[in-house]
Structure 1
Amino acid sequence: MNRPWVDGNRVALLINGEQYYPRVFEAMAQAREEILLETFIIYDDKVGQQLQQVLIAAARRGVRVELVADGYGAADLPDTYIAAMTEAGIRFHAFDPQPRLAGMRTNLFRRLHRKIVVIDGKLAFIGGINYSADHLDDYGPMAKQDYAVEVEGPVVAQVHAVSRRLMAPVLDPPSQVRPVTEPAGPASAVLVERDNGRRRIDIEVRYLEAFRAARQRIVVANAYFFPGYRLLRELRNAARRGVEVTLILQGQPDLRWVRALSRLLYNYLLRDGVRIHEYCQRPLHGKVALVDDEWSTVGSSNLDPLSLSFNLEANLLIRDRAFNQLLYEHLTSLASEQCKAVTLERMIRGYWWRAPLIFLCFHLIRHFPRIAGWLPAHRQRLQSLQPDVEAPRDLHEGHT
């Protein structure tokens, strides 16, 4: 069952680490009762160290700090980094840590990929930005282009409940914070998640609903674009009925095979009028979209098989004309000033040898959700990394 939209929220767009880190660290520094934090990646660099310092300061003044980092994304954190936090009273939990095989990380699928922070049950941050210096301009040409939102209002109760449910096996005692429900702004919003339980296709379904309802414009900026057949079909159908459909995809990828896969889909979309722009300034890591002049989404979910069929993801959906217009102006500027337009003429060169690959890819993505369901699902668990390390706890132990 879909969560309800709730009115009365203030939503602020945060672009890249330059806007995100000062706001989230300031909010953590002002926390009085509780900080719940979920992330895919933490690095022991200048951003990770600033996170460590602000959380230690919060814990020392009596704030309950619960941190969950993915066992794959945070596998390289040194023990000294974690020990400094746990000794200060921070409860540091690893999501499904797995042993290495020949020095390689083996836990590739069904990762905790979402990035959520909830402060005192009244302020939340949702997006795609990890805690690593590669989200800052001064990192260099491989600095990531990414997005998050700061949200205040009744929808924070949904975000708090989702994080609390994930952490339930290790929350002892349970969280006593009551989320604030007073109105804080004009936006309607709802948190949408993808899990490996009852909400396996919620994010994809919400995208499909929005694309089908589009009448004027669709703009999608997504890092890893290899969606299922239904999403591709709705984008094509929207363009056919006169909707201006614009995709902003990776032109300078951090993973080259990602762009290669995405480009196999270009002909299918370009033939029906979808506009495709490749962002070439630096790697695009964003996961944002807008439809017409009101609906927008910002979150952690890519439009690829890992996000749509395996990983734990979270997106905030927003209905607010001012936010939509701000995001539209930013993405339009990105497309016109920092992207290269992809033309059908350019893509049909060499089509004869790519045609068999395109045929195979279409059929793969058309049936991928069913294929993914055949793959064995490991037991998701949290392992608390306290000074005396506790036994792993199954995520579904003691709650539903």
Structure 2
Amino acid sequence: MPQQDRHGLNLYQTALSESWPRFVPNNQVTLLHNGEDYFPAIEAAFDRARHDIYLETYIYQNDATGQRIADALQRAASRGVKVYVLIDGYGSQDLSRSMLDRLQADGVKTLIFRPQISPWTFQRQRLRRMHRKIVVVDRSIAFIGGINIIDDKGSEVDMSSRFDYAVALEGPMVDVIRLSAQRLWSRVAWSSFRKGMVKDVPLPVSTFTGGSMRAAFLIRDNFHHRRDIEEAYLQAIRQAKSEIILANAYFLPGLNFRHALIDAAARGVRVVLLLQGKVEYLLEHYGSQALYGTFLDAGIEVYEYRKSFLHSKVAVIDGHWATVGSSNIDPFSLLLSLEANLVVDDEAFGATLLQSLKRTMETDGRQILTASWQQRPAGLRFTSWLCYGLLRLMQGISGYAGENSGRRTNEQ
């Protein structure tokens, strides 16, 4: 194995060797807000590609955005760039055969992670999805976040863009993410008896030297990294000294996670939750609200974002520990799906994300106050607990005990 590839493999093994973040120095991480930042950035990276591209997405939709990205991938493939696209069989179940045929005709290699299992088949595997959103171009740049390949505003033209984040990453951590993408691609190719195992072809080492940020790459899988993302959150929350801000689309934390937040608030840490305010999936929305009273009683601030659909999966703790990725704080993400988050330990990056979240809460968030929450109509309180109970029942049907819960798996 060439020296440069041994270095990349050693870095990968080191970065993913423990269940807590293993930080790698000398990276540059840039925050991208919504598809307005993300799609032009990955398209430009595709047009610069010289060797290979890996794209992993839960949802790939044949809309204007999907066509735009397909065009960029085709341009890269026509230059001889090897292009690998991995999509989830459930999240992308509506992707037309014509788009898949078009990608393959353009020279783009495509694989589907777990083609859809019938919703009437109560199997645990049905909920094990590939929920990662990763792009890697050569050994030069990687993107991680919560944004799928789908029009930013969806079908409701009068609504603002989905509220979400991703990051662009340059530096040594790119090799770690690239190896993770290669391994997942090869695993899916092998398990589906498809040709397409990635050959170990050495690429030029990135010449980027301008980074000063420490970053850690976290994955969740069903083998050696089942609780890495959750444990990283818990460690940071338990060590917090001043402020915790979580902005999460689907927030149904387990008992340990709830206790960690409540304990932080009890020791004087300001704890703020920015959660989904618009009803997208009824069970998840009202089931999450069943926990509001517990949080409010503990002194935790709760805000709901109602300008559009909230799909972010981010946090900032004590101004310097920040994470951006695909993992929600719910059992679907923390216990079932393949997820990927980047953790950045850097005051400048933390300040940028923190400023964005606080500005959003001030302008587009609605704070839930204890007094008004306690005065909700009995019907709404009943609905919340009914939805929470149904989620727990679905959890039991799925075969999981404890703090797990089920949810529709076509979230964004």
Structure 1 Cα separation of the partners of residues 340 and 76 of structure 2: 25
With structure 1 as the length reference, what TM-score do the two structures score? Answer: 0.85
How has the CA–CA distance of structure 1 residues 5 and 303 changed in structure 2, closer, same or farther, with 3 Å as cutoff? same
Whether 2:87 is the aligned partner of 1:69: answer yes
Structure 1 Cα separation of the partners of residues 387 and 264 of structure 2: 24
Which amino acid is the alignment partner of residue 131 of structure 2?
A: H
Task: Give the counterpart of 1:42 among 60, 68, 75.
Answer: 60
| 1:174 matched residue in structure 2 | 199
| 1:115 matched residue in structure 2 | 133
How has the CA–CA distance of structure 1 residues 60 and 316 changed in structure 2, closer, same or farther, with 3 Å as cutoff? same
| 2:112 matched residue in structure 1 | 94
| 2:262 matched residue in structure 1 | 236
Structure 2 Cα separation of the partners of residues 296 and 181 of structure 1: 26
Report SS of the residue matched to 2:328.
coil
User: Per-residue displacement from partner, 1:39-61 (whole Å, max 9, x unpaired)?
Assistant: 00011100000011110111111
| 1:262 matched residue in structure 2 | 288
Report SS of the residue matched to 2:43.
helix
Whether 2:357 is the aligned partner of 1:331: answer yes
| 2:252 matched residue in structure 1 | 226
| 2:368 matched residue in structure 1 | 342
8 Å CA contact retained: 1:20, 1:148? yes
How has the CA–CA distance of structure 1 residues 107 and 75 changed in structure 2, closer, same or farther, with 3 Å as cutoff? farther
| 1:194 matched residue in structure 2 | 220
Whether 2:75 is the aligned partner of 1:57: answer yes
How has the CA–CA distance of structure 1 residues 73 and 359 changed in structure 2, closer, same or farther, with 3 Å as cutoff? closer
Deviation at 1:164, TM superposition (A): 1.0
With structure 2 as the length reference, what TM-score do the two structures score? Answer: 0.83
8 Å CA contact retained: 2:286, 2:388? no
Deviation at 1:180, TM superposition (A): 3.5
Structure 1 Cα separation of the partners of residues 134 and 101 of structure 2: 23
| 2:172 matched residue in structure 1 | 154
8 Å CA contact retained: 2:313, 2:328? yes
8 Å CA contact retained: 1:168, 1:174? no
Deviation at 1:305, TM superposition (A): 1.1
Which amino acid is the alignment partner of residue 59 of structure 1?
A: A
Task: Give the counterpart of 1:276 among 292, 297, 302.
Answer: 302
Task: Give the counterpart of 2:51 among 33, 44, 50.
Answer: 33
Report SS of the residue matched to 1:134.
coil
Structure 2 Cα separation of the partners of residues 336 and 31 of structure 1: 40
Structure 2 Cα separation of the partners of residues 257 and 166 of structure 1: 32
Structure 1 Cα separation of the partners of residues 258 and 228 of structure 2: 17
Unaligned runs of 5+ in 2: 1-17, 190-195, 403-412
How has the CA–CA distance of structure 1 residues 355 and 82 changed in structure 2, closer, same or farther, with 3 Å as cutoff? closer
Structure 2 Cα separation of the partners of residues 100 and 93 of structure 1: 19
User: Per-residue displacement from partner, 1:256-292 (whole Å, max 9, x unpaired)?
Assistant: 3222011111111111110000001011000000100
Task: Give the counterpart of 2:32 among 7, 11, 14.
Answer: 14
| 2:14 matched residue in structure 1 | none
Unaligned runs of 5+ in 1: 375-400
Deviation at 1:78, TM superposition (A): 1.6
8 Å CA contact retained: 1:301, 1:313? yes
Equivalenced residue count is 370
8 Å CA contact retained: 2:286, 2:383? no
| 1:318 matched residue in structure 2 | 344
How has the CA–CA distance of structure 1 residues 36 and 22 changed in structure 2, closer, same or farther, with 3 Å as cutoff? same
8 Å CA contact retained: 1:16, 1:135? no
Which amino acid is the alignment partner of residue 335 of structure 2?
A: S
How has the CA–CA distance of structure 1 residues 352 and 255 changed in structure 2, closer, same or farther, with 3 Å as cutoff? closer
Identity percentage of aligned residues: 37
User: Per-residue displacement from partner, 1:60-119 (whole Å, max 9, x unpaired)?
Assistant: 1100001100011111122221111111211010111136579xxx97411111100000
Which amino acid is the alignment partner of residue 95 of structure 1?
A: F
Deviation at 1:199, TM superposition (A): 0.7
Report SS of the residue matched to 1:347.
helix
CA RMSD of aligned residues (A): 2.9
| 2:148 matched residue in structure 1 | 130
Structure 2 Cα separation of the partners of residues 163 and 328 of structure 1: 29
Which amino acid is the alignment partner of residue 289 of structure 1?
A: A
Structure 1 Cα separation of the partners of residues 280 and 387 of structure 2: 25
How has the CA–CA distance of structure 1 residues 45 and 192 changed in structure 2, closer, same or farther, with 3 Å as cutoff? same
Report SS of the residue matched to 1:32.
coil
User: Per-residue displacement from partner, 1:284-310 (whole Å, max 9, x unpaired)?
Assistant: 000000100210000000001100111
8 Å CA contact retained: 2:287, 2:386? no
8 Å CA contact retained: 1:153, 1:180? yes
Deviation at 1:351, TM superposition (A): 8.5
User: Per-residue displacement from partner, 1:312-346 (whole Å, max 9, x unpaired)?
Assistant: 10000001111101111111111111111101112
Report SS of the residue matched to 2:152.
helix
Structure 2 Cα separation of the partners of residues 14 and 101 of structure 1: 35
Which amino acid is the alignment partner of residue 86 of structure 1?
A: Q
Structure 2 Cα separation of the partners of residues 257 and 328 of structure 1: 30
